Amino acid sequence: MGRQPCCDKLGVKKGPWTVEEDKKLVNFILTHGQCCWRAIPKLAGLCRCGKSCRLRWTNYLRPDLKRGLLNEDEEQLVIDLHARLGNRWSKIAARLPGRTDNEIKNHWNTHIKKKLIKMGIDPITHEPLHKEASTPQDLCHANDQRDHHVEVTRQNSPKVDDHHVSSSDNSNAPTGNPSTADQSLRWSNPGDDDLLMSYIWSETFVDDSFWNLSGTRSESCSNFGLPSSEDNSEWLLNSCKDFGEEFGLGLFSEMDMNSLDMGGKH
DNA sequence: AAGGTTGACAACCGCAGGAGA
DNA sequence: TTCTCCTGCGGTTGTCAACCT
């Protein structure tokens, strides 16, 4: 028997998400939690498949996400982790607080890959590109660069905690009501992302007195408020705890880089 | 100004693995 | 043990803005 498709092909919307859809999804998840992705679109009133909802949440709407380009330290960390783990983006992302596997994958393909090639380093093997580096100077330069990046990574790796999200980095905090623009329009301008997130979060929760933030369990979840019901509070507390454990507190303190999962498919 | 090209990123697709019945 | 469902993952495609001619 064939595998059941993740969603009905008919009547399921595809393509870019609208602000309204984002609001519905965020609202639902923070009200009910991430119960069952397949059921969420129906319950939330979305004409999307569960998979699409999950992707949208994990890659874009999650409140703990950092936005903007990876900084230099993060890039070096990605390079180092890629050298160890290969294209296991989820594992790499797990070590970069507030970054998603999709984001890192995209950044790798559009920025880092080219950068490494330019430096004379094979982005797959992380070995010098002898063929491409046609002159001894090129090779020398490439190796210097490579040594440099390895060294930088070595210096950075033991204190990866430094990369953890600071509260000021979270630009998607509910901070007001920045726009009265047509809500059905897609916010395509990357520069509008912050406004979009502010809008979604503020419209959905601030105006409804949804948020009642009391105390901060961790920096990375400081943008959360606590829904009123017990279940929601529990979910949010767990989420904050998870975020703290996953992204923030003591993440690398005992981590031996050599203990990274190097086996298996994933 | 218009059309074509490129770059960046969001989103989709299909497969694999885990969990539960 | 097998089957089914759900989720996660990595690769790929689609979309759109910026840039170029």
**For chain A, domain boundaries:** 19-65+172-248, 72-164
Task: Concatenate the DSSP letters of all residues of A110-133 into one string.
Answer: IIIHHHHHHTTB-TTT-SB-TTT-
A114: nt with nearest C1' to CA: B7
Using the predicted structure, report yes or no on whether residue A124 has a pLDDT greater than 60.
yes
Q: Rounded CA gap, A7 and A191, in Å?
A: 32
Of A24-28, A82-86, A130-134, A244-248, the least confident? A244-248
Q: Rounded CA gap, A172 and A249, in Å?
A: 21
A109: nt with nearest C1' to CA: B8
Which of A22-26, A245-249, A254-258, A260-264 has the highest average model confidence (pLDDT)?
A22-26
User: Quick one: which of A173, A171, A160 has its CA closest to A246?
Assistant: A160
* Average pLDDT for A193-205: 65
pTM for the whole structure: 0.64
pLDDT for A236 equals 39
Whose tokens are 């979840």? That residue is A221
The set of strand C positions with any atom below 7 Å of a protein CB reads 3-12, 14-18
Both tokens assigned to A88? 């296991």
The set of strand B positions with any atom below 7 Å of a protein CB reads 7-17
Q: Rounded CA gap, A176 and A127, in Å?
A: 49
The rounded mean pLDDT for chain A is: 60
Q: Which residue has the higher pLDDT, A224 or A120?
A: A120
Q: Which residue has the higher pLDDT, A132 or A266?
A: A132
* Average pLDDT for A21-50: 84
Q: Rounded CA gap, A168 and A66, in Å?
A: 10
Q: Rounded CA gap, A162 and A159, in Å?
A: 6
A204 pLDDT band, cuts 50/70/90, is low
pLDDT for A14 equals 81
A3 pLDDT band, cuts 50/70/90, is very low
pLDDT single digits (tens) A15-29: 888 888 888 888 888
Q: Rounded CA gap, A32 and A35, in Å?
A: 7
By CB neighbour count within 10 A (0-12 exposed, 13-18 middle, 19+ buried), where does A170 fall? Answer: buried
pLDDT single digits (tens) A131-173: 544 444 444 344 444 444 433 343 443 333 333 333 333 333 3
Of A15-19, A32-36, A88-92, A234-238, the least confident? A234-238
| Protein residue nearest nucleotide C5, by CA to C1' | A4
User: Quick one: which of A25, A102, A236, A73 has its CA closest to A169?
Assistant: A73
Helix axes A136-156, A72-85, angle to 10 degrees: 100
A185 pLDDT band, cuts 50/70/90, is very low
Output phi, psi for A114, to 5 deg: -65, -40
Using the predicted structure, report yes or no on whether residue A229 has a pLDDT greater than 70.
no
Q: Rounded CA gap, A112 and A54, in Å?
A: 27
Sign of the alpha-carbon torsion through A78, A87, A96, A6: positive
- Find residues whose C-beta atom lies within 7 angstroms of strand B: A 3, 6, 13-17, 48, 51-52, 55-56, 59-60, 69, 102-103, 105-107, 109-111, 114, 190, 193, 265-266
Both tokens assigned to A221? 């979840």
Q: Which residue has the higher pLDDT, A187 or A86?
A: A86
Whose tokens are 């950075």? That residue is A156
* Average pLDDT for A189-218: 51
pLDDT for A66 equals 80
| Protein residue nearest nucleotide B15, by CA to C1' | A3
A5: number of Cβ within 10 Å? 10
Using the predicted structure, report yes or no on whether residue A103 has a pLDDT greater than 70.
yes
Whose tokens are 């904050």? That residue is A240
